[in-house]
Chain A
Amino acid sequence: MRKTVIKKLVMVALLSMIMPATGFAADTIKIGIAGPHTGDLAAYGIPTKEAAEMVAAQVNAAGGVLGMQVEVLPMDDQCKPEIATNAAMKLVSEGVDVVIGHVCSGATKAAMGIYKEANIIAVSPSATNPPLTQSGEYPNFYRTIAPDDDQGKLAATFATDKLGAKKIAILHDKGDYGKGFADFSKQFVEAGGKAKVVLFEGVTPGAMDYSAVISKVRREGADAVIFGGYHPEASKLVAQMNSKRMDIPFIGPDGVMGNGFLDIAGKDAEGVYATGPKDVSALAANQKARANYTSKYGKEAGTFFDQGYAAMQAILNAIEVSGGTDYAGLEKALKSSYVETAVGKIKFDAKGDAEGVGFSVYQVQGGQFVELK
């Protein structure tokens, strides 16, 4: 007798918590914004949150989407997987329709299972871990940033297709970033079948000189070098390649693309290729979003602002196109209709990666990195 009373009380308590949430969902669109909003990685999460809030405010001022107001629910995950699962459960129980997030790849992985079970689509502005889309495990996952292996793929295809390299030497600095890029490049060179990887080797960062490894590149008869690492090693390598009279293309990742490289390598930098994020600063949509941000907050927008802004724009567009927040409808809209966003005109491919975002090849011409179209 007593037990049933308690059960009933618990039921009532639970229902009272759920009821308003579901009751509310009919007239507003709830969008969860998950990411680090506190903690030492907050700088990666807050710009996305601010971007989403800005887009929501603009849309709401113009009458909302399909006549419904957009409500933004920020949820902090501190980039920690264990907190991310909690955050995801909270968002699900709040009855969100779509999630923007999470920001860190590890946290995203932890949260995706929960969204999958609840049939909620999540669009991350920044989780670049390749398996998130490629494994096919999370059909509800989308992202407005290019995955990590995109850069390696671009470097590999550029070397084989544009430069016509047949024998490629791949060097890296043994670090996570550099070796990761080198591994992906190797994988795509081999998968492409147009060229051979004749040398795959780490160099010691901070070593006095790299002339031994450069001699090795020459001995292997390489006709292009792909290097994974940062600018100090890259500038040392290109300088020593020049002093050893080796005139073959050198391709680096975005860790090389910057003024540090141009300063240190000086005239040796000329002609060096580097992959880097596509330059979106010339896009009108991007300029507008950033100008709005600056006028509201009085500073420059931070990391992943563009991607967060674009994620929000893509989602709201999909809701408008599909006429609701139904999972199947949203999926179809995200994958089929192009939308003008702060990172360019995008739609998503079958796996959830955005088409039209990512990396370009740059070349040093006249002491500056110039985007090759």
Chain B
Amino acid sequence: MEYFLELSCSGLVRASIYALIALGYTMVYGIIQLINFAHGEIYMIGAFVALIVSGVLTIYGFSGFSILVLAGLIAVIYAAAYGYTLEKIAYRPLRNAPRLSPLISAIGMSLFLQNYVLLAQTPDFLPFPALIPDFAFMEPIAHIMGSPELVILVTSAISMVALTVLIKYTRIGKAMRATQQDMTMARLVGVNVDNVISMTFIIGSVLAAIGGVLVGSYIGQINFYIGFMAGVKAFTAAVLGGIGNIPGAVLGALVLGLTEAYAAGYISSAYEDVFAFGVLVLILILRPSGLLGKAVKLKV
């Protein structure tokens, strides 16, 4: 039983990180039907900014939780700026181009950002400080769930609730939903669609950066390539849940993360990816539009 709990905790931690990234994929896809391949890189950049800022803050004598919050905040702001700029220079000029063009532009941006960090920073792994302190009250169950895991789960949950509130109850949320339903109509009733799309990228980037900071602090190392694999997994989660559907991304991430953890624990960790992608294939065979996705009729 304890073993099952350990695996579940490991799966939930993965799932919440996947979900944070998957939300960005799914929101962007929902609005402009673009798979933003550079999204994993925003996550990576978030982690790098947090690393640099935490280094600076340590020199100035800050400590522990204050570093985590400040570094996280600055990482989020940076990542938002990157997300906004990314949309502005790589996707907006291609808004009315054939669908393949922005996709290729996205792959290009992904490669560009990876190599930019590779050249500007280093190709090696960098140590990431453990910003999340060990809470005394977690000590009795630290072997099942430690403080870092707790912080990751709580932060992700708060982020997701905040996102739901934002989309359901705010003006910009309403505009986002309108744009998602019909971009032309939204424009006709006075929604500034360009701003809405920018906002979508910013929100997605913020969530990804939060994920990046949490993961960096959790596993203690980052390099320029971490965004790629995390991006692939998160994209899988988004597709699994039905791309374009926000609760679907979270559900897909949960299925993916738990599958990986149970496969690693009960079968073999050498094949965790095989099982993760096997589940994806299986679900897409049974439900081609994902767990919560609606079959979309093509508008002719």
**A266 with B265: in contact, given A211-B10, A212-B10 (CB under 8 Å)?**
no
Write the nearest CB–CB distance from A221 to chain B, whole angstroms.
12
Q: Which residues of B from 101 to 145 have beta carbons under 8 Å from A?
A: 124-127, 142-143
**A264 with B142: in contact, given A204-B269, A212-B10, A213-B269 (CB under 8 Å)?**
no
Write the nearest CB–CB distance from A268 to chain B, whole angstroms.
8
Write the nearest CB–CB distance from B220 to chain A, whole angstroms.
5
Contact B221 A232 (CB under 8 A): yes
Of the candidates B142, B148, B221, the one whose C-beta lies within 8 Å of that of A235 is B221
CB < 8 Å A-B pair total: 96
Contact B142 A245 (CB under 8 A): yes
Contact B146 A243 (CB under 8 A): yes
> A326 vs B265: C-alpha distance in the bound complex, in angstroms?
61
Question: Which residues from chain A contact B3 at a C-beta distance below 8 Å?
Answer: 215, 219
Residue B286 interfacial (CB < 8 Å): no
Question: Which residues from chain B contact A207 at a C-beta distance below 8 Å?
Answer: 229, 272-273
**A208 with B17: in contact, given A216-B264, A260-B124, A264-B220 (CB under 8 Å)?**
yes
Of the candidates B6, B146, B229, B269, the one whose C-beta lies within 8 Å of that of A206 is B229
Contact A204 B273 (CB under 8 A): yes
Contact A208 B219 (CB under 8 A): yes
> A48 vs B9: C-alpha distance in the bound complex, in angstroms?
53
Residue B215 interfacial (CB < 8 Å): yes
Q: Which residues of A from 236 to 258 have beta carbons under 8 Å from B?
A: 236, 239-240, 243-246
Contact with B along A190-234 (1 / 0, CB 8 A): 000000000001111011111111011011000000000001100
Q: Which residues of B from 2 to 17 have beta carbons under 8 Å from A?
A: 3, 6-7, 9-11, 13-14, 17
Residue B225 interfacial (CB < 8 Å): yes
> A211 vs B164: C-alpha distance in the bound complex, in angstroms?
30
> A246 vs B142: C-alpha distance in the bound complex, in angstroms?
10
Of A174, A207, A215, A239, the most chain B CB neighbours within 10 A belong to A215
Contact B143 A236 (CB under 8 A): no
> A213 vs B265: C-alpha distance in the bound complex, in angstroms?
6
Write the nearest CB–CB distance from A195 to chain B, whole angstroms.
22
**A260 with B142: in contact, given A208-B219, A219-B3 (CB under 8 Å)?**
no
> A266 vs B131: C-alpha distance in the bound complex, in angstroms?
13
Q: How many residues of B contact A (CB 8 A)?
A: 37
Residue A263 interfacial (CB < 8 Å): yes
Write the nearest CB–CB distance from B254 to chain A, whole angstroms.
15
Residue B261 interfacial (CB < 8 Å): yes
Residue B268 interfacial (CB < 8 Å): yes
| Minimum CB distance partner of B125 in chain A | A232
Contact A244 B143 (CB under 8 A): yes
| Minimum CB distance partner of B269 in chain A | A213
Residue B218 interfacial (CB < 8 Å): yes
Write the nearest CB–CB distance from A230 to chain B, whole angstroms.
10
Contact A211 B269 (CB under 8 A): no
Q: How many residues of A contact B (CB 8 A)?
A: 33
Contact B13 A263 (CB under 8 A): no
Write the nearest CB–CB distance from A43 to chain B, whole angstroms.
20
Contact A212 B220 (CB under 8 A): no
Residue B59 interfacial (CB < 8 Å): no
Write the nearest CB–CB distance from A222 to chain B, whole angstroms.
14
> A276 vs B11: C-alpha distance in the bound complex, in angstroms?
35
Of the candidates B6, B215, B220, the one whose C-beta lies within 8 Å of that of A208 is B215
**A215 with B270: in contact, given A243-B148, A244-B146 (CB under 8 Å)?**
no
| Minimum CB distance partner of A210 in chain B | B269
Write the nearest CB–CB distance from A234 to chain B, whole angstroms.
11
Contact A215 B7 (CB under 8 A): yes
Write the nearest CB–CB distance from A138 to chain B, whole angstroms.
35
Contact with B along A170-195 (1 / 0, CB 8 A): 00001000000000000000000000
Residue B230 interfacial (CB < 8 Å): yes
Q: Which residues of B from 238 to 255 have beta carbons under 8 Å from A?
A: none
Contact B215 A216 (CB under 8 A): no
Question: Which residues from chain A contact B127 at a C-beta distance below 8 Å?
Answer: 263-266
> A373 vs B65: C-alpha distance in the bound complex, in angstroms?
42
Q: Which residues of B from 256 to 298 have beta carbons under 8 Å from A?
A: 260-261, 264-265, 268-270, 272-273
**A174 with B220: in contact, given A209-B10, A218-B143, A243-B142 (CB under 8 Å)?**
no
Contact B221 A212 (CB under 8 A): no
Question: Which residues from chain A contact B126 at a C-beta distance below 8 Å?
Answer: 264
Contact B270 A202 (CB under 8 A): yes
A-B contact pairs, 25 of them (CB 8 A): A201-B270, A202-B268, A202-B270, A203-B270, A208-B17, A209-B218, A209-B219, A211-B6, A211-B10, A211-B13, A212-B265, A213-B264, A213-B265, A216-B265, A216-B269, A218-B6, A235-B220, A235-B221, A236-B220, A239-B220, A244-B142, A263-B127, A266-B127, A266-B220, A268-B220
Nearest first, the 6 A-B pairs at minimum CB distance are A202-B270, A212-B264, A211-B10, A215-B6, A213-B269, A264-B127
Identify 8 new A-B residue pairs, CB closer than 8 A, beyond the known A212-B6, A212-B10, A245-B142.
Answer: A203-B269, A208-B229, A212-B264, A212-B272, A218-B6, A235-B125, A245-B143, A264-B126
